[in-house]
Amino acid sequence: MVGKQNKIAIVGAGTIGLSFAALHLTKDPACAVTIFDTRPDLGEYVQQNLPGYLTDADHESCMKRLWFASKLGEAVKDAAIVQEQGPEKLDFKTAIWPQIEQYAPEDALLWSSTSGIPASQQSRDMKDRSRLVVVHPYNPPHIMPLLEVVPSPETSQAVVDQTLEYWRTLERTPVVLKKECTGFVANRLAFALFREACSLVAQGVVNVKDLDEIVQSSMGPRWTVAGPFKSYHAGGGEGGLTSFMEKIGGTVQGCWEASDEDVRSGNISVGEQWQAEVCRQTDEAYGVVDTADRDTKTRKVLDAVRGT
Amino acid sequence: MVGKQNKIAIVGAGTIGLSFAALHLTKDPACAVTIFDTRPDLGEYVQQNLPGYLTDADHESCMKRLWFASKLGEAVKDAAIVQEQGPEKLDFKTAIWPQIEQYAPEDALLWSSTSGIPASQQSRDMKDRSRLVVVHPYNPPHIMPLLEVVPSPETSQAVVDQTLEYWRTLERTPVVLKKECTGFVANRLAFALFREACSLVAQGVVNVKDLDEIVQSSMGPRWTVAGPFKSYHAGGGEGGLTSFMEKIGGTVQGCWEASDEDVRSGNISVGEQWQAEVCRQTDEAYGVVDTADRDTKTRKVLDAVRGT
C-alpha cells in the first residue's frame, strides 16, 4: 500500500492528529495527507505547528504533500485511510462514522485513535461495522513505535491484516489485541505501575524524583530490551518463568499483598487526598518538561535497541 | 574512596556476588576484590565463571586483582567494603553480621544485597547497628545502574553518605529510600505491572509475546528517558501532572477499577490456576533467553540515553 500515492485523511488537528500526520508524511514518502478540522484557522494553525513534529531534513518534502479541508466529505473522498482523533465522546464517534462511510471510498481503511471507546460502540450506527478498527497510539505516535490494533467482534480480518501491513511497512510495531477491554493494554499496564508509584510516594517511602530515577535506571532500560515476561523468564535461568515463580514467588506474592494493603489504607483513588502532594512534588521536581529533549533521547534509545 | 586501593570483600559467590565483583573490578581500577564462599571449588569456580561478566578488554586487569578466601575473617580483615549476598534467610543474616563486625576494620562499610530482609532485622545482634545498610541491586548489577540504598532507622547518615559517594564515583545510580518497606521500591513497581500483565494474559486479551512487544515499544523506551511522574507531567502540557489528572483521571480510575475486578475474578495470586498457562506461553515464546545479547543491547540503550 505504501508507495501507491496513498491519500490519508486525518480527522482532528489536535496533538495526536498532527503527530500522526507527521508520521505518515515522514515514513511514507509517496503519501499525501489531508487534515480535516472545524477550526477556522486550520491552515495557519497546522503550518505553524506541524514543523514541531518534523526534523529539518523532512520539512520541505512533507509540507508540500499536505492539504487541508473544512468539510469532512472533501477530506475523505479519495482517501485510502481515514484516521480519526476527534473528541473522546461516544456521541461524536457514533455520529461521524456513518458520515465518513458515506463519503469515503468503499475500500478505505477506517481507524480511530481513541484511548478508550471500543470500535464495537463507535460503529453502532454504521452500515458496515466490519470496516472500523481502533488503532491506539502511545504518545507521541511520530516517535513511539507502538500501535494497539483493537478490532471489535464485527471487524473483518481483512481490515486487520491491511492495517498491520501498512504499519509494518512503516517500520512501526502494531500489536493486535484479541478482545476489547477497558483502557486497552498499554495504559492498563502503565497505570498499574503508576498507581503503585503514587502509593509509595504517598506513604513517604520515596519522593517523586527518586522514584522516576529508580524506573529510569532499572525497568526502563530492561523493558526496552526485553518485556516483563521475557525478563523474568531469563531471571529463572534454564527453568525459565516456572522456575522464577518457584524461587521468587513468595516475594512476588508478598509485594502484591503489601501493595493491596497500602492502596487500601492510603485510599489511592483518583481525586483523593494523596494526589495534591504527588502533584506538588512533581511540579517542584520538573517545572515544564522539555519534550523536544525527551523525544531526541527517545529516538536515540530506539535506534540503539534496534541496532541502527 | 575510589583510587585508594580499596579492598572489597564479596561474601557469597552466587550470580549477584560475581556480578558485583565484576562491577567493582571494572569501574574502580585501583580496587582489589576478595571473594568469600564456603564452596570447596571456589577458586576454580570463579576463574571459570567471572569472565562471563567481563568484557575482553577488562579481563586481564580484573583477574589479577582478584583473591579468594575460605574463611570469613580472612576475607574481611582489611576490607574497606564488605558486601554480603548470602542466602535470603534471616537466621543466616543475623548470624553473619556480628562475625563480620568482629573481623572487619571499624570503618568498613557493611552492605547487604538482600532483596527483602531489611537492615533493621539483619542487624539485630550487631554491637553497632548503625553500620549496616541494604544496597539492593537490579539484576545484573554489572549492567544495570540502579542501587536501592535502604537504611534502617539505626543506620548512620555517615554510612549512607559514604555509600552514595562510592557508587556515584563509579557512575552508578544509587537512590536512598526514606523508610524500609516490603520488597523495596523497584520490585514493588515492577511486580505491580507484572501482575497486571499476568491478569491480561490470563483473560485472553493478549498473549505473552505480544504483551512484551507492547512494553518494549512503549513504556520501556519512554521510562528509560523519563520516569512515570515526569512522563505524565509532560503529558499534561503546561498544567503538568495536575492537568493530566484533571483531563485523564477518569480513564486512569476506570483502568484501576477494571484491574482490581480482573485480578479478583481471575484469582491472580501466585500459584493459582492462571500461572501454568502464562508459564507455558512464555516457554513457547522464548525457550532459553540469550542473556549475553540482552546485556549487549542494554549497554547500548544506557549509552544512548546518557549521550555517551
Q: Is residue B147 located within the same domain as residue B29?
A: yes
**Looking up cell 492537568, which residue turns up?**
B243
Is residue B158, in this structure, part of any structural domain at all? yes
Q: Is the pLDDT of residue A3 over 50?
A: no
Q: What are B41-55's pLDDT values in tens digits?
A: 999 999 999 999 998
Q: Is residue B238 located within the same domain as residue B128?
A: no
Q: Is residue A169 located within the same domain as residue A213?
A: no
What is the rounded distance in angstroms from the CA atom of residue A177 to the CA atom of residue A172?
16
Domain end residue (candidates: A182, A210, A231): A182
Q: What are B58-115's pLDDT values in tens digits?
A: 999 999 999 999 999 999 999 999 999 999 999 999 999 999 999 999 999 999 999 9
Greatest extent of chain A over all pairs of C-alpha atoms, in Å: 62
Indicate the number of domains in chain A.
2
**Is the CB of residue B30 less than 8 Å away from at least one CB of chain A?**
no
What average pLDDT does this structure show over A151-175? 97
Domain end residue (candidates: B114, B148, B182): B182
What residue of B is the nearest CA neighbor of A269? B253
Q: Is residue A288 located within the same domain as residue A258?
A: yes
What residue of B is the nearest CA neighbor of A197? B189
Is residue A2, in this structure, part of any structural domain at all? no
pLDDT score, position B3: 45
Q: Is the pLDDT of residue A2 over 90?
A: no
Is residue B43, in this structure, part of any structural domain at all? yes
Which chain B residues in 119-148 lie under 8 Å from chain A, judged by CB atoms? 138-139, 144-146, 148
pLDDT score, position A106: 96
Q: Which residues from B are below 8 Å from A233, CB to CB?
A: 282-283, 286, 289
Strand pairing report for A109-112 and A81-84: parallel
Q: Is the pLDDT of residue B4 over 90?
A: no
Q: Is the pLDDT of residue B278 over 80?
A: yes
Q: Is residue B192 located within the same domain as residue B253?
A: yes
Q: Is the pLDDT of residue A308 over 80?
A: no
Query: Which CATH number do you get for residue B112?
Result: 3.40.50.720
What average pLDDT does this structure show over B227-237? 96
Is residue B33, in this structure, part of any structural domain at all? yes
pLDDT score, position A220: 98
Q: Is residue B104 located within the same domain as residue B212?
A: no
Is residue B261, in this structure, part of any structural domain at all? yes
Please give the share of chain A, as a percent, with pLDDT higher than 70.
Answer: 98
Which chain B residues in 217-276 lie under 8 Å from chain A, judged by CB atoms? 217-230, 232-235, 238, 240-242, 245, 249-256, 258-259, 269-271, 275
Q: Is residue B155 located within the same domain as residue B219?
A: no
Q: What are A191-231's pLDDT values in tens digits?
A: 999 999 999 999 999 999 999 999 999 999 999 999 999 99
Q: Which residues from B are below 8 Å from A281, CB to CB?
A: 229
What is the rounded distance in angstroms from the CA atom of residue A303 to the CA atom of residue A308?
5
pLDDT score, position A1: 52
Q: Is residue A114 located within the same domain as residue A222?
A: no
Q: What are B196-213's pLDDT values in tens digits?
A: 999 999 999 999 999 999
Greatest extent of chain B over all pairs of C-alpha atoms, in Å: 62
Q: Is the pLDDT of residue B2 over 70?
A: no
Q: Which residues from A are below 8 Å from B18, CB to CB?
A: none
Is residue A84, in this structure, part of any structural domain at all? yes
From the list B177, B188, B271, the residue facing A259 with the nearest CB is B188
Q: Across chain A, what does the average pLDDT equal? A: 96
How close A74 comes to chain B (CA, Å)? 32
Mutate to test the interface with B, among A23, A195, A210, A302 (most CBs of B within 10 A): A195
Tell me if A255 and B144 make a contact (CB, 8 A cut-off): no
- CA A167 to chain CA mean position, Å: 13
Please give the share of chain B, as a percent, with pLDDT higher than 90.
Answer: 95
Q: Which residues contact B193 (CB under 8 A, 6 or more apart)?
A: A189, A190, A192, A193, A196, A219, A228, B215
Neighbour count for residue A22 (Cβ, 10 Å): 24
Tell me if A227 and B214 make a contact (CB, 8 A cut-off): yes
For residue B220, what are the domain limits?
A: 187-306
Q: Which residues contact A293 (CB under 8 A, 6 or more apart)?
A: none
Tell me if A189 and B212 make a contact (CB, 8 A cut-off): no
How many residues are recorded in chain B? 308
Q: Is residue B114 located within the same domain as residue B194?
A: no
Q: What are B148-190's pLDDT values in tens digits?
A: 999 999 999 999 999 999 999 999 999 999 999 999 999 999 9
pLDDT score, position A307: 81
Is residue A1, in this structure, part of any structural domain at all? no
Question: Which range (A185-189, A282-286, B51-55) has the least confidence?
Answer: B51-55
Query: Which CATH number do you get for residue A199?
Result: 1.10.1040.10
**Looking up cell 536515540, which residue turns up?**
A300
Q: Is residue B17 located within the same domain as residue B150?
A: yes
Is residue A87, in this structure, part of any structural domain at all? yes
pLDDT score, position B155: 98
Instruction: Tell me which amino acid residue A33 is.
Output: V
The model's confidence at residue B307, banded by pLDDT at 50, 70 and 90, is confident
Q: Which residues contact B2 (CB under 8 A, 6 or more apart)?
A: B28, B30, B31, B166, B169, B170
Q: Is residue A167 located within the same domain as residue A196?
A: no
Q: Is residue B194 located within the same domain as residue B75?
A: no
Domain end residue (candidates: A118, A147, A182): A182
Query: What is the three-class DSSP state of B8?
Result: strand
The 3-state secondary structure of chain A, one letter per residue: CCCCCCEEEEECCCHHHHHHHHHHHHHCCCCEEEEECCCCCHHHHHHHHHHHHCCHHHHHHHHCCEEEECCHHHHHCCCCEEEECCCCCHHHHHHHHHHHHHHCCCCCEEEECCCCCCHHHHCCCCCCHHHEEEEEECCCCCCCCEEEEEECCCCCHHHHHHHHHHHHHCCCEEEECCCCCCCHHHHHHHHHHHHHHHHHHHCCCCCHHHHHHHHHCCHHHHHHHCCHHHHHHHHCHHHHHHHHHHHHHHHHHHHHHHHHHHHHHCCCCCCCCHHHHHHHHHHHHHCCCCHHHHHHHHHHHHHHHHCC
Mutate to test the interface with B, among A270, A283, A291, A298 (most CBs of B within 10 A): A270
